């Protein structure tokens, strides 16, 4: 397995992980140290921080304040992982939106080289 790392800067519109590989085995995203707001993961380019668009809220570890939907997630990260040894997670179907422009998200992409997705 090969791992690639990077960062995303949150802004006024939802952002995506750059698609170096269309399909991967695992996508892991977490708050960078010092983030001041939460972020939301969803499957639509019209993702907002409001409850009107579906998605999952993720807070920095030290936040401890309820998200707009009332949830209190236990940590500052989110991941999706294949349960096979295939690269079958389509990276460009995930969007990230933040409550504070300029916050950074760190991501990891795990890839099984030589395997078809």
**Which residue is listed with tokens 């916050």?**
103
Task: For residue 116, name the pLDDT band (cuts at 50, 70, 90).
Answer: very low
Q: What is the mean pLDDT of the chain?
A: 85
- Is residue 23 within 8 A of residue 109, CB to CB? The reply is no
Task: For residue 63, name the pLDDT band (cuts at 50, 70, 90).
Answer: low
Distance CA 54, CA 94 (A): 12
- The distance in angstroms from the start CA to the end CA of the chain is 14
Residue 5: predicted pLDDT: 94
State yes or no: pLDDT of 1 exceeds 90: no
Q: Count other Cβ atoms within 10 Å, centred on residue 22.
A: 11
pTM of the prediction? 0.84
Pick the residue with more confidence: 105 or 53?
Answer: 105
State yes or no: pLDDT of 19 exceeds 70: yes
**Which residue is listed with tokens 């892991």?**
28
Nearest to 84 by CA among 25, 21, 4: 25
CA 48 to each of CA 12, 27, 99: distance values in angstroms, whole numbers, following the listed order: 9, 21, 9
Distance CA 3, CA 102 (A): 25
């Amino acid at each position: 397995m090969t791992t690639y790392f990077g960062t995303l800067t949150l802004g006024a519109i939802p952002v995506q992980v750059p698609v170096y590989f269309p399909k991967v085995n695992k996508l892991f995203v977490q708050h960078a140290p010092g983030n001041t707001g939460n972020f939301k993961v969803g499957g639509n380019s019209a993702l907002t921080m409001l409850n009107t668009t579906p998605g999952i809220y993720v807070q920095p570890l030290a936040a401890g304040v309820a998200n707009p939907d009332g949830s209190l997630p236990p940590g500052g990260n989110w991941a999706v992982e294949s349960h096979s040894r295939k690269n079958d997670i389509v990276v460009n179907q995930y969007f990230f939106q933040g409550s504070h422009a300029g916050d950074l998200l760190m991501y990891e992409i795990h890839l099984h080289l030589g395997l078809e997705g």
